[in-house]
Each structure stands twice: as C-alpha cells, then as structure tokens.
Structure 1
C-alpha cells in the first residue's frame, strides 16, 4: 500500500457537510437592539450632519442580532435616505449606535449607554 493510500485511512470524515458551520452560527449570542435616549440620539444626529464624504470614521451599528464596529472612509452620506456608507457597507441611521470621526476626534456623549 502506498503512503498516500495509507494516509487516506486516517483522514477525518465529515458525514454532514456544513454541520460545524451551522453549530457555530447557533453558538453566536444575539442581543436585542438598544434604544437610544433622546439626548444621545440628538447628539448622534448632530455628528451625522457634520460628517462629510472622505472623513475617516468608526461606527458601531446593529446588524443581524449583534453590534459590529467598522472603521473606514465615508463614501456616501445621505440625510434624506438616512444612510451612511462606509467604503462598501451601507448602514441605516436607525441602526447606528455610536459614531466617532477619526480626524477631528469628535465622539458623542456616552452618559446614557444601555446595550
């Protein structure tokens, strides 16, 4: 028996393809979307009005049961459609939890956090 054929005997066997990935998805802890207090929402709106295209920002936003942190350059901000686009990721204003402009160092008040 050749060395390759002998090695095949000891290769792991996955009877259910994708089962491990499905288990990992189940292990993910989901959290409910936090409601921002009115003061914090006003401050977030103020910061969003000041953000311009090509600003470097860090945003924390709610997506599919978890909070995601993304840093990148703003490629589009649309106050009418209420969308912030960082590189290729579109984020609804309603899903934003925190925004920080990197160049200026502006960050909104964290006094009423609740997630």
Structure 2
C-alpha cells in the first residue's frame, strides 16, 4: 500500500528493489579491464577465400553469428543481417556495422 492507502502498482513495488548504482560506469570499467586483448590475425589465402564465400552466401534478413575484430579483441555478434554494402565493404547486423576486413567468420544460425 502507498502512503495514501491506495494499493501500489507493480512498477512502483519493483522500483524499490532496483539496485543503487552509486558508482555510475564502475561496472563497465571493471568489465573493460577484465577483457583479454589479442592481436589481429591475418587470414591465409584459404581462410580469406572461406570468409569471402561465407560473406557471399549471406542474405539480408538472415540470422547470423559473426566473429570479428573489435577494440583489440575478437568478439561474436549475433543478430539479423539488416544490410550488406559491398562498396563500403560493410556488413550490418541489426545496427552494428562490421567492416569486411574485421570479419573472421560468418555463420547462419538455424
């Protein structure tokens, strides 16, 4: 019940249990420090051909898992392909633009 005697709405009750973030940005900083950096791998001719074939097979609207280089480490992005720009050499997964040169693998998710 609220102070005026009316029952509380669910959102009001839930708000009292929300965590207090006194150190805004602290947890992002901790996660960033925990991230392991690794050097960019240069693909061999066979690997470059495989990556090129995987990119050629991808179509807009597909659900994919893309492993790519970003900020000193390889990360995996999953989502729907919303754009493919061969001129700019970019693949867009949801809203994230990924340069072709940063891609290590592209796999469709069944």
TM-score (norm 1): 0.66
Count of equivalent residues: 89
Aligned-residue CA RMSD (Å): 2.2
Aligned equivalents of 1:30, 1:94: Cα separation in 2? 18
Report the equivalent of 2:43.
36
Structure 2: segments with no counterpart, 5+ residues: 1-21
CA-to-partner distance for each residue in 1:45-98, whole Å, 9 max, x for gaps?
112112111011100001001111111100001111110000010000000011
Q: How much does 1:26 deviate?
A: 3.6
Larger RCO (CA under 8 A, 6+ residues apart): 1
Which residue number in structure 1 is paired with residue 74 of structure 2?
67
Specify the alignment match of 1:86 in structure 2.
93
**1:97 and 2:104 correspond:** yes
TM-score (norm 2): 0.69
